[in-house]
Structures are given as structure tokens and as C-alpha cells.
Chains A and B, each alone.
Chain A
Amino acid sequence: MIDYDLVVVGGGPAGLAAALEAKKNGIERILILERDKYLGGILQQCIHNGFGLLYFKEELTGPEYADRFIKKLSGTNIDVKTGTMVVRINRKKEITALNSKEGLLFIKAGAVILAMGCRERTREAVRIPGDRPAGIFTAGTAQRYLNLEGYMPGKEVVILGSGDIGLIMARRMTLEGADVKAVLEIMPFSSGLMRNKVQCLDDFGIPLLLKHTISRINGKDRVESVIISKADENMSVITGTEKEIPCDTVLFSVGLIPENELSREMGLSLDKATGGPVVNELRETEVRGIFACGNVLHVHDLVDYVSEESEIAGRAAAAYIRDGLERREREIIVERAENINYIIPQKISFIDREREMIKFFMRVKRPEEDVRISIADGENKKLASYKRDLLTPGEMLVINFPEKLIKDNTEKIKMFIEKERR
């Protein structure tokens, strides 16, 4: 059995930032396990720019953002095993992994950081009927073919879902000479960032059809056409509104799911809303010394927030290893109102007199305008309140909550969003 102070599962943006931060906080024996051939994760295929505005205060492409962390890593003694797949982690922090050079590996870790990222929902996840010909991809798979491997996925394209990868791929395929016929979105609003809608669709005259979906895919060997239909507010197809669009390629950009097979096998409870493990403010899961950060925890819209969150986990893992964490006698549960989709962290477990703020990441269920986000204690006494002009499900909301508002006997805090009274 190989022995490490810290094992980081995943060498994407989350794993890289977490490992570097743990190193910075004095941890010496760190190992990163990455199943792909290279570090950097999904960033390596995200060749567009727009990364790093918050974290580096400059605009970078995905590979450039990854390179900053990879270069920093190469100046350290952090060990990296690429091409290595983790197949099991148990609660005693024993990890089973394998690769083609060393075969089966057994690793014992002092602390573990889960940074496995997320994967795409597929056609099957949204149950689109019809034939099963070639030419149907998730947007991210098409992105990998085009940007990393050099294959053009198709020429006449219809994209289902207005998630950011779908919008980015609409532009990318157009630049490479494809005819992107339309992007369909079943909801009444786009789920991607405004800048992507403008710069990827409007710039090229690609129509975004809201409240529309694909009701059938046609084609024998290759996709030949899709039938599109209007959808009602229950996301059901309205019969009689069908229209056929000839195309040879369909891309699905219908959401991302945190990749938590390893967490589930370990018996960690997952939050239904995030799809990731339940964590406290230091991103520690139910098992002490096992942390989670990045998209395995909840799907972020900006990698900058992934880096920031992963540094929290990296610092915490370092403190855990040095036995420097002070736990509260009773954890504080974070509750949310109906119109909030999720809040990270789900609980507060530590006492930390040094920190001034606890940062909450959250998402609303529906767009909300002119609102106040309020935090109250168990007796419904308002502790803090923040005004926001506009909240959308596509943009993560970040709230800084002052530590000093937490009292020793606080058992829970509640967050809710109300219309601003004028």
C-alpha cells in the first residue's frame, strides 16, 4: 500500500487548485489521480475565452487557464498519476486505482479531496423519441471531437438546450463552416449566460427558439431530420405544432450532473438539488477528512468559482491533516425557501475566529427581479439581507455572510428571497 497525506481524485481545475492550496499550507506528500492522459480536465477542450476574469482579472481561454495551474504544479513535489482511474474509495480513506503501467494500486490517504467533476446529460436523460442513427452527440463530446481530436461532427446542426456548452458549440461549429439551424430551449428563458447568447447566437443570426423541443429524431444510418414542437409550461409537447428541420447532426446541451459514483459507493448522502455530496462550509463531506469541491459538488457556471471553492477544500484538508480544525458542538443547518434551488454549504460545522465571512453559493429556481435575499436564525430573526436587481438560474449567486452574526447557540439559519418593497 502506498501512503500519502493527501490524495486528490481528479486533475481538472478543482483538483489542481485544491492540491496547490494544500501544498501552500504545508502539506508535503500529495498525489493527484487523473483518468485522462493530461491534466486540466474539461478546460483543455474549452478553447474559447472568457475564463479567469474573476480569479486572474484577465480574460483567458480554457487551455490558458489550465496552463497557469499546471505550470505552478510542475514547480512543486506534488505527485501526479495520469491515465489512472480510481475505482473505489472507502471511508477509511483507502483508495483503489488502476492504470496500464502499474496495474492495480492501493493507496492510503490521510485526507481525500473528491474533484471528479461532472458529466453531461444525454438524449436518454431527456427521453427524446425517434430513430437511433449516427450524428447524435452531447455538446461536450462534439466539442472534444472538434477541438482536441480534429473531427468535424457534422454539417447541418440542430442543438437542443441553451446551456453554455450548446451555445459555445453553436458558434464553434458555425466558425468551422457548419450550418447551425437553431438552438431549442424547452424553458421560457435561456439557461446559458447572457454573453454567450449574444456572442454565440445573435452574432451569427442563429435563432434561439424558447419553449421548443425536439419531439422526434429521424434517420436510418445518419440523422436526416428532427421534428420540433412547441412545449407548454409543464414541458409537454403541444400537438399540432410540429415542424420538420432537415439536419445531419443533433447536439444535446441539456444539463450537467456531478459525477458521484465513487461518493455513492462510499455511502455519502447526496443532495438531490445539487447532485453532489452534502458538505459543510469547508467542503467536508459527512466523512471527516474527505472533502469535495468543484463540479462534483455542484455545477458551477464559472471556473473561477471552482478554483476559489477548491482552495477552501485544499486549505481545509491541510488543516485537517495537521489537526487544526475546531468543530462546533452542534452543526448549524442551512435551510432554504422554496424558490431557492440549492445552497452550498448545507451546514456550518466549524468555529473559526480568523475568518470574517462565510461564502454561500446558491441558485434560484426561476428568474427573480428586484429582490432581497435574507438570512434569518431559527427564531426567524433576520440576521442579514442583500439586495439584488436580477437573479437567474443560469448565474450562481454568491453571498458573503459575516461570521460574527453566528451565535454559539445557533442551530439553523434560513435563507429566503422576497420581492423588494418599494
Chain B
Amino acid sequence: MPGKDIICILCPRGCRIKIDYNVDNSSVSNITGYGCQKGLDYGLEELHNPSRIITTTVRVKNGELPLLPVKTERGIPKDLIFPVMKEISNIEVEAPVRIGQIIKRNLLNTGIDLIAGRDILKYNGDEFPDKKKKGAEAPVIE
């Protein structure tokens, strides 16, 4: 019978949960090793529907910063993590951006949106702190 070992991440104990299941009807036949109810629920969720929230960045045009941190509003199925990263890598947004703003709807038809993680103002011209101008002369200090 196939089994799956899952380390529970919900508390420092890190219980090793062992799940045996039937492939045919994907029913769980035996589950052991969890230390509490929360861990049991977590183990079953990890077996049936492992998903992760993706946090990454997208490029910003005319922003005071070159990158905007973003996150998926919910967990993305684990096997879609890299395809979704690829999709996100094509995105560029125009400043200003507000925290919580939807940057892209329905990533790869998952029904899950990509959300901005901070405010980024429009670059106002007097200072561009995190992107040095190419070829700018070094200041002369006398």
C-alpha cells in the first residue's frame, strides 16, 4: 500500500505523520504520528491538496523602486509553482502601485489573483535611490 511521510510544520515539535492510502479510491486507510488534531488536518490537506502561497517580485516601470513584492492571494497547487513563476516573470507594472492592488487576475486559470505587497510611488525625478544612473560621474569631494 502506498504511503506518504509528512512533517507537520504547525509547531516546533515537527511530528512525522505517516499516511497509508488506497490508490484506487484514494481513501486513507491509516494515519499515524500526528500529535494533535491540527496536525491530522494538516496531514490530510498535504496529502490531498498540497499548495503554497508564492511570494516573488515583478518589475516596476517609473517607480521609485525597481521591483514590487507580490503574493498569490491563496495557495497555488504545488505542481503549478514553477509554471506560475514563469507567468509572473512576464509581468511589468506601471507605478504608482498600492498595497493590496490586484496585479494579475486568475493566474494560469487557477482562479487565484496576484496581489501587490507594498505601495510604490511614481519616481519623481530628484532621487533614484535603488537604481544608479549609468555613466553618472562620481562626485568630486574637495
Contact = CB atoms under 8 A, between A and B. Distances in A.
Interface stretch (A9-17, A42-50, A109-117, A229-237): A42-50
Contact of B55 (A37, A47, A195): A47
Given A147-B67, A175-B85, A47 B7 contact: no
A198 B36 CA distance: 19
A390 B12 contact: yes
Contacts of A199: 9, 52
A204 to B, nearest CB: 9
B9 A150 contact: no
Nearest to B66: A150
Interface size class of B (residues with CB under 8 A): 20 to 34
Contacts of A394: 12
Contacts of A49: 53, 55, 71
A61 B117 contact: yes
B69 to A, nearest CB: 4
Q: Interface SS of chain B: helix, strand, loop or mixed? A: loop
B54 A64 contact: no
Interface string A79-92: 00000000000000
A148 interface: yes
A149 B66 contact: yes
B113 interface: no
Contact of B12 (A61, A64, A148, A194): A194
Given A61-B71, A203-B52, A395-B12, A194 B7 contact: yes
Contacts of A389: 13
A100 to B, nearest CB: 10
Contact of A202 (B7, B85, B131): B7
Contact of B69 (A61, A176, A390): A61
B65 A148 contact: yes
A392 interface: yes
- Which of under 10, 10 to 19, 20 to 34, or 35 or more describes the interface residues of A? 20 to 34
A48 B55 contact: yes
B129 interface: yes
Interface in B16-61: 52-57, 59
A148 B67 contact: yes
A15 B18 CA distance: 44
A202 B8 CA distance: 12
Given A64-B117, A147-B69, A148-B65, A194 B9 contact: yes
A179 interface: no
Contacts of A150: 57, 59, 66-67
Given A49-B55, A150-B57, A195-B10, 19 more contacts: A47-B56, A47-B57, A47-B117, A49-B71, A61-B69, A61-B117, A62-B69, A63-B117, A147-B67, A147-B69, A148-B67, A175-B54, A175-B85, A194-B12, A198-B7, A203-B52, A390-B12, A390-B13, A392-B12
Which 10 pairs from chain A and chain B are nearest by CB? A195-B9, A47-B69, A63-B118, A194-B14, A37-B129, A63-B117, A150-B66, A395-B12, A48-B55, A61-B117
